[in-house]
Homo-oligomer: A and B are copies of this chain.
Amino acid sequence: MKVRRSNRLVDMTRYLLEHPRELVSLKYFGERYGSAKSSISEDLSIIRTTLADWGVGRLETLPGASGGARLTPLYAEENATRVIDELVAAVNDDSRLLPGGYVYLSDLLGRPEILREVGRLVATQYVDKDVDVVMTVETKGIPIAQSVAMYLNKPFVIVRNSSHITEGSTVSVNYVSGSSQRIKKMELSRRTLKEGANVVIVDDFLKGGGTLNGMQSLINEFGAHLIGMTVFAEGQFSGQRLVEDCTSLIKVTAEDGVNKKISAQPGNYLAKVFGDQD
């Protein structure tokens, strides 16, 4: 069956979006549509310019027998700025204030449209790095890790804070919680992380940095490498943080005194990711 260009464009766009960062051979598309390679190449160049024009993705075409097309979803600076502003507005809501100056974020981290934006933002940061796996610690970092992993098309691993039979044998580390100064334990299934793997750490909230620091120790125990750390929100913290270089999408200040007030603003993401281009 020969498929017409208009139908090819729709199906190819869908296929490439649902297989992000996967090299798809021109031969595969050629056979799928009963079309000549030259037609497929023209289709791909239409897709490439359209994605670039709207600032939502990059389509690379690799020549040769082992070549093909690979779509990388990402955000151009203009889109990233708009999304960060939307996140700031969503968090800037005094009813999110919890006792002790904590901030309620569970609703946002359970909304698909927010998670898609967050995943795409964080993936954009690491798109030109050689990432093998995304790591987070249970529970609230998981949705972020999954969304980033979806866009990078790499697996994610969940560090547990207690032992579970279903994880098989594990490696565990002790760490100091930066905010409570207590010693805790976290562990990761042996099977999930390979020696030498390049790891991106993500989490929902950075306070003292103890949890992120714990994950760094785990990465060392596995003989893996840390590529970078990104959190959804960075809170205020009086004292020395246990991590130095962490990217944040937004910053939140919570006042739990007489005047209950939450104030959100953009984090250091835009400067870190797009800063050099200005």
Residues in A lying within 8 Å of B, measured CB to CB:
5-7, 9-11, 13-14, 17-19, 46-47, 49-51, 53-54, 56-57, 98-100, 102-107, 110-113, 115-116, 138-140, 142-143, 146-147, 149-150, 153-158, 160, 165-168, 189, 191-192, 205
Contacts and interface: CB of A to CB of B under 8 A. Distances in A.
Given A17-B17, A138-B138, A110 B7 contact: no
Q: How many copies does the complex hold?
A: 2
A168 B14 contact: no
Most chain B CB atoms below 10 A, which of A51, A56, A112: A112
A92 to B, nearest CB: 17
A206 to B, nearest CB: 13
A158 to B, nearest CB: 6
Nearest to A165: B102
A99 B164 CA distance: 12
Contacts of A113: 19, 153
22 contacts: A9-B9, A10-B50, A10-B51, A11-B50, A13-B17, A14-B17, A14-B54, A14-B57, A18-B116, A98-B166, A100-B165, A103-B166, A106-B158, A106-B167, A107-B192, A110-B192, A112-B150, A112-B155, A113-B153, A115-B146, A138-B138, A146-B147
